[in-house]
Amino acid sequence: MTRTLILGAGFGGLTVATELRRLLGSEHEIVLVDRRPDFLMGLRKLWALVGLGSLEEGSRSRGTLNQPGLRFLEEEILAIDPAGRAGQTGSGWIAADHLVVALGAEPRPDLVPGLAEHAHNVWDQAAVPGLTDALSQLEEGRLAIVIAGVPYTCPPAPYECAMLLDDHLRELGLRERIQLVVTTIQPLLMPNAGAAGSEWLGQQLDARQIEHFTGRKVERVEGDRVIYGDGELAFDLLIGVPPHRPPPVVAQSGLTGEGVWVTVDPATLRTSHDHVYAIGDVTMIKLANGLALPKAGVMAELEGRIVAAAIAAEIRGEDPPAAFDGQGFCFMEMGKTSATLIEGDFFAAPEPRIQLRDVSEAHAQEKHSFEAERLERWFGAG
């Protein structure tokens, strides 16, 4: 019996496991490892913050994935041996015929002095209750959202957060007394959406009286002030989006080579080791304009489909699947009941060809369906 070892059971790892199971049945063994017992999408953290449902409603137990031919292990990956296609947990080494590294990216507030101490990190599930509590006590002043480093997962999410908070504070009758500000280290609000997309987003923020500033590099955070290279911003409540890095076990494995992220063949998601793939946030795929492919769940999922199809084809002795084409989409929330659809061809040259569709309630509903459909596909109904 052949075996695939999947490290990480997030968007990417769950897709590979589900697709492999569908394509090969229980005759092929899948071992899926993750340190956390439950899965939760990032979007839930923002929804929980503004009262659009709870974290629990979007959580699913990975233990329910266990079935003949598919084993979920709730363990920490301590080491990866790409040459041996193996991963080490506290119970020992697990070797496989195919290895898929889908360990994601970790928020690293420690890389910006004072960020961990003074900012709420809504990118970390554990920080959501504390921020919700702090928000409920805020009655006036300045609420700042600061993108303090790159890359970070889900490029539109800080702006979604601002627009959801705008709606939320209006509902509470507090918006007149609470100023909302977003600052980013990047030269454009959303570089992957280009100058036109970023300008459009700026207009959307202006229409909601959300102040926004680009090119603002955070040097440090002190008490109630963000210190930039060229000025400072006082705040009453701070949401900090930290820079992200791969989990240390990935860097220690040698898979990142001389760089920070795992580099892969963008068409096949293969690493430099035979039968070893890497997908999702842990990778760095450079686009024609020099920017990186956005770190988004939908990308990890699309890549996971390609990898599962490639492994299944190889095991069955069939031709490899079509290449990953960089076509992706995401629904960007513009408030509690409206969203736009961002979609396009990220591999286009010389720039990604990205379209921003109409802002509508239908797109907001599709975002909720996006979560529901995947939870059902991966964990079953109920």
Give the interface with ligand FAD as residue ranges (CB under 6 A): 8-13, 33-36, 42-43, 45-46, 76-77, 102-104, 123, 153-154, 157, 247, 249, 280-282, 295-298, 300, 330
CB of 319 to ligand FAD, least distance (A): 27
CB of 65 to ligand FAD, least distance (A): 12
CB of 47 to ligand FAD, least distance (A): 9
Task: Annotate 296-364 with DSSP letters as a single string.
Answer: -HHHHHHHHHHHHHHHHHHHHTPPPPPPP--EEEEEEESSSS-EEEEEEETT-SSS-EEEE---BHHHH
d(CA 51, CA 64): 28
* Residue 82 or 228 with smaller CB distance to ligand FAD: 82
Look-up of token digits 């084809």: 313
* Residue 104 or 191 with smaller CB distance to ligand FAD: 104
* Residue 228 or 340 with smaller CB distance to ligand FAD: 340
CB of 220 to ligand FAD, least distance (A): 23
The whole-angstrom distance between residue 282's C-alpha and the CA centroid of its chain comes to 10
Residue, CB closest to ligand FAD: 10
- The residues with which 328 forms a beta bridge, in sequence order, are 344
Size (the chain), residues: 382
CB of 20 to ligand FAD, least distance (A): 15
d(CA 343, CA 302): 13
* Residue 74 or 351 with smaller CB distance to ligand FAD: 74
* Residue 62 or 216 with smaller CB distance to ligand FAD: 62
CB 277 within 8 A of CB 100: yes
Q: What region, left, alpha or beta, does residue 25 occupy, with left being phi > 0 and alpha being psi -120 to 50 degrees?
A: left
* Residue 228 or 336 with smaller CB distance to ligand FAD: 336
CB of 372 to ligand FAD, least distance (A): 13
Closest CA to 76 of 62, 91, 86: 91
CB of 245 to ligand FAD, least distance (A): 11
d(CA 245, CA 85): 23
What is the token pair recorded at 253? 């494995």
CB of 122 to ligand FAD, least distance (A): 6
d(CA 189, CA 178): 22
Question: Of all helices (H) and strands (E), which one includes residue 72?
Answer: strand 70-74
* Residue 240 or 247 with smaller CB distance to ligand FAD: 247
* Residue 36 or 177 with smaller CB distance to ligand FAD: 36
